[in-house]
A = this chain, B = another copy of it.
Amino acid sequence: MKQQKAIVLLSGGLDSATVLAVASRDFDCHAISFDYSQRHVSELQAAERLAQAFQAYHQVIHLDQGVMTNSALTEMTMGVPVDGPTEGIPVTYVPARNTIFLAHALAVAEVQAASDIFIGVNAVDYSGYPDCRPAYIEAFERMANLATRAAIEGHQLKIHAPLIHMSKAEIITTGADLGVDYSMTVSCYQADEQGRACGRCDSCRLRREGFEASGLEDPTRYQ
């Protein structure tokens, strides 16, 4: 029986589904998803199905609409990128998003007496996001270990980012080996209500290229 509990950030996308599978090998998982009027709300439904598949508890946390703003992922008037990587930070970057996500995960970890948090950040495909870099994750972990009652009492908190140096193809083969059904995941920036992908946005392109490179069949449902 897996005794230790871990908190897993689960968006419902390909990366976080893989992280849940990795964490489930060693931990009793408490998955958390965030509702912040992101465009692809079908991700939340995907997250619920993935949590069930891995027998994880699933908690949806509502974030204030007025804060998660200024991004193509939350603003209907901004187009999502379809033209491939650009210089600098993508328009899909949401200000301080991973810091807000991890701060909530830290609170849940403390209440649940968990010392492990898993996050699916990736520094390869998302190199333009400041809060996907190893140095950022390390700095958050260091701060977290000064922030909580648990840390003061000697329970050192660990932030696990198992995908951080993987290519998309490596992520896919890792998850497939662990039984992830990727047809349940939604990566598209503008998926429809049924979770079907547009096939054109940058996230769809990265995902499709990942499946091609992995040699595995792409189960993505397209519009």
Contacts and interface: CB of A to CB of B under 8 A. Distances in A.
A143 B99 contact: yes
Tier of interface size on chain A: 35 or more
Contacts of A111: 69-70, 95
Contacts of A25: none
A96 to B, nearest CB: 4
Nearest to A107: B96
Given A66-B59, A146-B130, A103 B96 contact: yes
Contacts of A190: none
Given A61-B64, A64-B62, A104-B67, A99 B149 contact: no
Contact of A99 (B62, B106, B130): B106
Interface in A42-97: 59, 61-64, 66-70, 89, 93, 95-97
12 contacts: A62-B62, A67-B108, A95-B149, A96-B107, A98-B147, A99-B143, A130-B149, A130-B152, A131-B148, A136-B143, A136-B146, A140-B147
